[in-house]
Chain A
Amino acid sequence: MRVKKLSRLWLLPLIIFQFTAPAFAASKIDISVKTVLAAQDAAYVDPRLKDLAKELKTVFRYTSYRLLGENRIRLELKKTGTISLPGNRVLKVTPVRISGNRAELNLAILKGNSQIFNTSIQLLNRGSITIGGPRHKNGFLLLNIFNSF
């Protein structure tokens, strides 16, 4: 009987962990950035962008989505990572804090030495945001930024 009771106690710390897991906040965040060229030319969707293109097609009327690059970085809080973008641009990502199921990120796009865009967002864990607008070649650049922690 005592053995049975002891074996049930195995579950206790796990149950406690289940409910307190969010309290053990991660100190590092994995960031993935897909750089996409959206244009209105011959219809084409890169197979790696199938899900994203499906989302974007509900809002935009671009006919082609080409993956120009994909970068993955792991960042500690308050450390800045830099990702090169086409057209002499760079994206700077700085995780500020984690609050609940969202990470607060500072995102800045620079062209040359000039900062052209800066935003602060709260991104869902395992969620993404798409930032678009910079012109490139015959279309526009879209940055799909995914994070997990």
Chain B
Amino acid sequence: MWMKRDHCSLELLDRYYDGEISPDESKAVADHLDGCPACRKRLGARRVVSESVRAAADEAVSRTDFSLLDQKVLDRIDAYRTPFLSKLKNIRFSWRLYVPASAIAAVLMVFFTLFLRQPADLGPSALINSLAGKISSVMIIETPESRHTILWFSEESAHTGEENAGQKT
């Protein structure tokens, strides 16, 4: 079945040489080769060709600089990946970005200037320039933390003792 005219087929010899057949088939082929010079010759030629190819491949591999190859592969991958920082570098000096960014910064600056501007050194919340009126007494108080100014006066007609009832001593 696997031999033609009492000779091994090339496909069978290849598999035999590569060790890809069953032990029974391998013994049968080996027995046949003992008594068949033609098949032994074909097997020998197959072996020469195979070893020549392997030797050439080994030599080519030994000459290859794999570190250089690795670097080339990584470079190729990097070229597709385009890191975030590289993108930033590409757009950093783009005026298309610069102008809108400047406009946004300007709007924010105006907003903070007009609406959130607070004096650095606040001092008391209010300074009293003058006082007058029908008052029997007056106190100017500044709260300890936020320096909120409180102006407390007592009307002349009121009872002084009652008016000071709520003030801490």
Residues of A within 8 A of B (CB): 3-4, 7-8, 10-11, 14, 17-18, 21, 38-40, 55-56, 58-62, 101-102, 104, 109, 114-135, 139-140
Contacts and interface: CB of A to CB of B under 8 A. Distances in A.
Given A4-B95, A18-B113, A114-B134, A123 B126 contact: yes
Contacts of A8: 98, 102
Interface in B140-169: 141, 143-146, 148-156, 158, 162-163, 165-168
Contacts of B148: 55, 128-130
Given A62-B166, A121-B126, A133 B102 contact: no
Interface of B: 93, 95, 98-99, 102-103, 105-106, 109-110, 113-114, 117-119, 122-123, 125-135, 141, 143-146, 148-156, 158, 162-163, 165-168
B166 A38 contact: yes
B127 A119 contact: no
B127 A125 contact: no
Given A10-B106, A21-B113, A55-B143, A124 B133 contact: no
Nearest to B158: A135
Given A17-B113, A123-B125, A134 B131 contact: no
A55 B141 CA distance: 11
Given A7-B99, A119-B128, A129-B126, A40 B113 contact: no
B153 A124 contact: no
Nearest to B141: A59
Nearest to B98: A7
Contacts of A134: 155
Contacts of B128: 119-121
Given A21-B114, A121-B126, A61 B167 contact: yes
